[in-house]
Structure 1
């Protein structure tokens, strides 16, 4: 089969088997074209929980599929490629958090959603890149441990000087590859373009950008802006997606190195094999972990309203 034939077959089978396909924004264009929803990890999880479909395929990384399962415990959730993990989600464990809580008992612990389900069972709050500032501002605690991404944590701290936010070593390897020199070079090469970056980038990068926000925030900004040229400082697949969405505008990569190799593992064939049943990785989590992790996620939903 060629790409078009496989896409058509996937669309036919998912209707026949009542399957829902979710694709994170970092997936390739051919996968996005067969997905029912595209977005960030939390947004996709919410979409899945609102639909009638009992079978959900996540085209993303493992923690994203786990979040879907936590919010839809009675549904069958499949990860399109069993080997797709998130390096940042593996940087801290539940035991690490418990040690931090013992060392800083007066601090509230806030975890980025890019963490394991087990870790989420022992934190006070979960946030996304788009909701972090809003949620932390509402929290009554002044002293906050933000894990595991120090770049996102620093970006939030700058906007909330009234809070005492402590971060730790870690972060997204993909966004760490973007440097201040990349921004300076982009300014020279594309003087009329606005530079849009993700807050997982280093502080010296976000400080020089015209806009910093979540992946969906970056895409929304570019689509709605009157500007015609943009340099994109997040996973390079977003450049291609925006080129399809806004053919009248120009988009450039801030760094050729900003590629998430974990996300890129998932292929259209993986999606096909999952929905046909040739190869399936169903997400199964212990009941107690799902219940405890959901507490922190529910707090995020309530605080984010």
Structure 2
């Protein structure tokens, strides 16, 4: 059967062609009205869409103004001139954007877009950790609630975790909530790390056996792992790094065949940029990220829902932890 070809008309025709490797033309036809509506709404409302690397391609490539990992989104959120920020990601990311832009309207298209890591720890848990380890600095992964950030000394992302841990110049820190990220960082530094027992429901499912099977079934494949994966997975991989670091690796090294051990849509989004590279896709999907859709982004801009609000006193304490991360 001959390939279906989209007619070369309309403002999004070239985008549809670029995305046809990951979005077939009949599927793009379903998205096109919402894409055009969102682009018009952004202009009308002076709004921008910040999208995490785990968003689906029609969002990531179709309507987002800024894309990246948690660290990049946090940095870029401080630079936007728009009056409205729509966070196409999960709730803690929208909270972080609001912390850094207290005078702007920040919208999360679905308030139920949560995170297993953020839900694995409370502010009271942090206070108990401090009581058990008096005087030990607390490093909170950015994948935490604003209440947890407010109880912490500094935040980090997977991209700068080691640098943040070492920035204190001490021999012991508490790192929470991701146990595997903490253990993977501990393997790279002399600093002793006391970890929490939280796990990412996407990355914890990868195993060392998965990596070995991938190598057996796809000879010559280059394996890239996210540091939220278990340490034995990271040990089997060719490279471990944040989603931004994985994307940079693919662009710089240009492996013939590659697998990204992270959320499904990451491979789709990087594949659009590198049509000559073969991507093997063992798909672990994040149900929380997938709550964000073109339709609810459009609805958010049309109705101003759901607006993120944070208690000012809480925000002041949490903002310090985020700003220290950005300054490190």
Contact persistence 2:98–2:308 (CA under 8 A): yes
Q: Given the alignment of the two structures, is residue 122 of structure 1 paired with residue 151 of structure 2, yes or no? A: yes
From 150, 172, 175, the equivalent of 2:200 is 172
Contact persistence 2:99–2:315 (CA under 8 A): yes
From 236, 258, 282, the equivalent of 1:230 is 258
Once residues 144 and 74 of structure 1 are traced to their aligned partners in structure 2, the CA distance between those partners, rounded to angstroms, is 33
| Partner SS, residue 138 of structure 2 | strand
* TM-superposed deviation, 1:109: 1.0
Alpha-carbon RMSD across the aligned residues, in angstroms, is 1.2
| Partner SS, residue 202 of structure 2 | helix
* TM-superposed deviation, 1:137: 1.9
Deviations 1:78-106 (A, max 9, x none): 00112101111011111000011011103
Q: How do residues 9-48 of structure 1 correspond to structure 2 at under 5 angstroms?
A: 9-32=37-60, 33-48=62-77
Once residues 71 and 110 of structure 2 are traced to their aligned partners in structure 1, the CA distance between those partners, rounded to angstroms, is 19
* TM-superposed deviation, 1:139: 1.6
Once residues 45 and 321 of structure 2 are traced to their aligned partners in structure 1, the CA distance between those partners, rounded to angstroms, is 33
- Unaligned 5+ segments in structure 1 are none
Instruction: Specify the alignment match of 2:166 in structure 1.
Output: 137
Q: Given the alignment of the two structures, is residue 155 of structure 1 paired with residue 184 of structure 2, yes or no? A: yes
Q: Given the alignment of the two structures, is residue 72 of structure 1 paired with residue 101 of structure 2, yes or no? A: yes
Q: Given the alignment of the two structures, is residue 89 of structure 1 paired with residue 118 of structure 2, yes or no? A: yes
Contact persistence 1:62–1:79 (CA under 8 A): yes
* TM-superposed deviation, 1:227: 1.8
| Partner SS, residue 56 of structure 1 | strand
| Partner SS, residue 146 of structure 1 | strand
* TM-superposed deviation, 1:51: 1.7
* TM-superposed deviation, 1:197: 0.6
From 81, 84, 92, the equivalent of 1:55 is 84
The alignment's TM-score, normalised by the length of structure 1, stands at 0.95
Once residues 140 and 157 of structure 2 are traced to their aligned partners in structure 1, the CA distance between those partners, rounded to angstroms, is 9
Q: How do residues 234-249 of structure 1 correspond to structure 2 at under 5 angstroms?
A: 234-249=262-277
The alignment's TM-score, normalised by the length of structure 2, stands at 0.89
Once residues 191 and 116 of structure 2 are traced to their aligned partners in structure 1, the CA distance between those partners, rounded to angstroms, is 28
Once residues 135 and 74 of structure 2 are traced to their aligned partners in structure 1, the CA distance between those partners, rounded to angstroms, is 32
| Partner SS, residue 282 of structure 1 | coil
Q: Given the alignment of the two structures, is residue 264 of structure 1 paired with residue 290 of structure 2, yes or no? A: yes
Contact persistence 2:254–2:277 (CA under 8 A): no
* TM-superposed deviation, 1:131: 0.4
Once residues 147 and 246 of structure 2 are traced to their aligned partners in structure 1, the CA distance between those partners, rounded to angstroms, is 30
* TM-superposed deviation, 1:42: 3.2
| Partner SS, residue 82 of structure 2 | coil
Instruction: Specify the alignment match of 1:181 in structure 2.
Output: 209
| Partner SS, residue 236 of structure 2 | coil
* TM-superposed deviation, 1:168: 2.4
